[in-house]
Amino acid sequence: MNSNTLSPAPTKNKKLIFWVEEVSAMTQPDQIIWCDGSQSEYNRLIHELVEQGMAIPLKRENSYLFRTDPSDVARVENRTYISSLKKEDAGPTNNWVEPEELKSTMRELYNGCMKGRTMYVIPFSMGPIGSDIAKIGVEITDSAYVVTNMHIMTRVGSKVLETLGETGEFIPCLHSVGKPLKEGESDDGKWPCAPLDKKYISHFPEERLIWSYGSGYGGNALLGKKCLALRIASSLAKEEGWMAEHMLILKLTNPSGLRKYIAAAFPSACGKTNLAMLVPTIPGWKVETVGDDIAWMKFGADGRLRAINPEAGFFGVAPGTSEDSNPNAMASIKSNTIFSNVALTADKDIWWEGMGTEPKFPLTDWHGKDWKQGSDQPAAHPNARFTAPASQCPAIASEWEDPNGVPIDAILFGGRRPNTIPLVTQARDWNHGVFMGSIVGSEITAAALDLKAGTVRRDPFAMLPFCGYNMGDYFQHWINIGKKTSADKLPKLFFVNWFRKKDGKFVWPGYGENSRVLKWIFEQCEGLGKSKDTAIGIMPTEDAIDLPKEVSAEQLKDILAVDTEGWLAELKDIRENHYPIFGDKLPSELKHELDKLEKNLKS
């Protein structure tokens, strides 16, 4: 570990050394530390953060609580940019600023921004080190909080530099909290960040470059996560013929020991992490976790898509996580975990709404203030997080770090829809499945002020905030992937919806009972499922899914029915409000699927 600006770098990669020197000259830190990824490094940084009043030690072994500034609690999508050379390459769903203009603005902000601070150089690998599917990044940051989280979320340190070698390519990721310190000044235990109008999370796809300024929050500051693993990686994947997707990966094993690997793309608040760590209610069936958030998929020598989880940890939403909703997540965070913006109990443990236990009073909320039962403000911020090593998950699959990836048998798409979309539908073929993925969305509730309640907010492939280029081209990339191998080697594609309602109540119990739907999907992959062809796709027969005790045969029939009127209204919305957004970039294959579905429904 080097803690002197004049110390030699622990690498001979000239491009990396030059970049670090260039950033140092611009940001003017007090010192530079090259991170080696060791436990002693992690322990030292955590100790410093505790001493500074930034981290609160918890009763859980090696676990700590951070409280962020109230203005820095989530991703800032309106301050996130895809700065491609041409505006049309960023597309209609991304914010765009011309690259040189954006860099000029940000250089002014970066100038001297690390004064009074340490500059950390974090070499990291997204994916198992040395995997053909993995990518190397280097994040420069002035936040020790970022370094400790990157230790958990990625593979950090000396082994990455060894793999990089003297001439290896890496993705440069520059981050600053945007709060320089004057001589003798400190943060005084307060979370450092810049005002909202000075926050920038910028991506330059042609240069494979990420610049982030002003935020210390996870998705804006842990640049290996959404910035590299999705926005830059999706652009790379288009160029190189692979896939970078906002998907969980799970391993499903039947009572005979036969296994299938399933990836799934759901928008936020649709149970992605819960499904990745699901505990089946069907005897003899087993779900194991490969990844809970991101999948990188490349074709193997056998012509099948093989996926890795590029991350090494879980950055999960805490509120709502409980022993009932996700016992494996609760087990994963018993030790070695960083928490942000959760509540603190009197005995130095953590608590949040939906945890399933009563808080121990006195309770301190995420602002650091006393919290009383019945308060109109939540004790934990709704986007409070935990950062935990994936290796601690009791359900982690043995092959979760296989550098060759796992072969994907099925891909699921789904959103939160109280009506119209059935419990499960299988696509007839690849293009039909791409159509399903392109129309994913969740119904807006009265809590969202920007859209009328009851309308659908589309989130194609759950990638709307994360696609690093024009989404119309992204749809075309999916179509093109389907042409790269034979149809029998492609994953089967499914549309699921756990959120159907009747009289204001959920019909399907969800959580572990979703294993009953996974069982049918497994059987379909084996060619053994009971199914029928319908106007909207292949669906289970009424006796194809084992019923949970809370669901009657009549209720199952209702949530598996084809709602012709509802689907025609859906198609009208897609034609008038969704597909026109993409203009002439919308693939003709998707227009064809839309026409075909309408014809089926009307015949």
The DSSP result for 280-334, as a single string, is -SSTT-EEEEEESS-EEEEE-TTS-EEEE---SEEEEE-TT--TTT-HHHHHHTS
Alpha-carbon distance 483 to 299, whole Å? 12
Q: Residue 389 is which amino acid?
A: P
Residue 583 CB contacts under 8 Å (≥ 6 apart), including other chains = 92, 472
Asked whether 455 and 418 are in contact (CB, 8 A), the reply is: no
Closest CA to 314 of 276, 342, 344: 276
Alpha-carbon distance 549 to 566, whole Å? 28
Cα dihedral sign, 573-574-578-582: negative
What is the separation of C-alpha 19 from the centre of its chain, rounded to a whole number of angstroms?
Answer: 28
CA dihedral 84→86→92→95, nearest 10 degrees, is 40
The pair of three-digit structure tokens given for residue 513, joined into one six-digit string: 């009972």
What is the separation of C-alpha 154 from the centre of its chain, rounded to a whole number of angstroms?
Answer: 14
Question: Residue 248, SS3?
Answer: strand
Among candidate residues 113, 193, 270, 525, the one labeled active-site is 270
Range 81-87 contact pairs with CB under 8 angstroms and sequence separation of 24 or more: 81/200, 81/201, 81/202, 81/203, 82/203, 82/205, 82/231, 82/468, 82/469, 83/202, 83/203, 83/204, 83/205, 84/204, 84/205, 84/206, 84/469, 85/206
For 134, 220, 223, 471, the CA distances from 38, given in Å and listed in that order, are 21, 24, 20, 40
Alpha-carbon distance 162 to 247, whole Å? 30
Residue 270 annotated among the catalytic residues of the structure? yes
Which residues are tagged catalytic? 270
